[in-house]
Copies of this chain bind each other. A is one copy, B any other.
Amino acid sequence: MTGRLDIIGIGPGDEALITPDVRAVLAQATDAVGYIPYVERVAGPGLRLHPSDNRVELDRARQALQMALQGQRVAVVSSGDPGVFAMASAVFEALEGWPEAQQVEIAVHPGITAMLAASAALGAPLGHDFCCINLSDNLKPWALIEMRLRLAAEADFAMAFYNPRSASRPEGFTRALEVLMASQCGERLISFARNVSRPDQTLLTLPLKDARPEMADMRTLVILGNSATRRVGDWVYSPRFA
């Protein structure tokens, strides 16, 4: 039996946002590897689950490749899209310097990443040029994040922020808001989309100058508009020409 490895994204939460492409992978897989809550979402008959804790992405990727080498059909499960701050990069990192594993048949299957679901729920705040920044400094220096925030503000990009604030690093998002205030973004609209696409989804939009760090946690996707982002009724959108 020839193993294979499929790197899949199961979207932000709503089952109706999981693509048929990903469903087909899960129907054929023998093993599912991923962070505990994501693996729980794909549980089903005939699928062995291998849940692991957060922050062990590289170990998890190696485990998945090892199982594929042994002939299993392994699904590596991320929420959202696997290529946006998720498992795809970790798998390719594990592949470097492991020539044997490079024989494994691999495919990456896209998914609805959180910023697209948040943008849809809010209206169209990412309707024009934007950037997407992971605010976690677990794997990169904070100075790099801060530099990117300043330049993105200067470029007048709308911005989507992943992993804005966790219990272990509550101060980072506070600092990010300060950097954006100092970059003349105070009047821009900022939106907090929590538990997006789930029954307990909440949305909050206000000018950045009125935002408080406590409005975000790890279940929140934050979108800062560009200088032209505006409201119409309850919706928030960025015009096509700005």
The stretch among A88-96, A171-179, A206-214 that forms the contact with chain B is: A88-96
A20 contact set on B, CB distance < 8 A: 15-18, 20
Tell me whether A154 is interfacial, beta carbon within 8 Å.
yes
Chain B CB within 8 A of A142 CB: no
Q: Please tell me if the beta carbons of B139 and A133 are within 8 angstroms of each other in the complex.
A: no
- Kindly list chain B residues whose C-beta atoms are within 8 Å of the C-beta of A15: 20
Least Cβ distance of A78 to chain B in Å? 11
| A18, A57, A235: residue with the most chain B Cβ atoms closer than 10 Å | A235
A132 in contact (CB, < 8 A): yes
Taking a contact as CB atoms closer than 8 A, the residue among B83, B96, B112, B124 that contacts A19 in the complex is: B112
Task: Name the contact of A128 in the complex, choosing from B128, B134, B157 (C-beta under 8 A).
Answer: B134
A167 at the binding interface (Cβ < 8 Å): no
CB-CB nearest in chain B for A16: B21
Can you list, as one digit per residue, whether each of A44-88 has a CB less than 8 Å from chain B (1) or not (0)? 000000000000010000000000000000000000011111001
Residues of B within 8 A of A132 (CB): 126, 129-132
A14 adjacent to chain B (CB < 8 Å): yes
Q: Are A124 and B88 in touch, CB under 8 angstroms?
A: yes
**CA–CA, A236 to B155, complex, Å?**
27
Q: Known contacts being A16-B24, A235-B95, A237-B89, is A120 close to B109, with CB within 8 Å?
A: yes
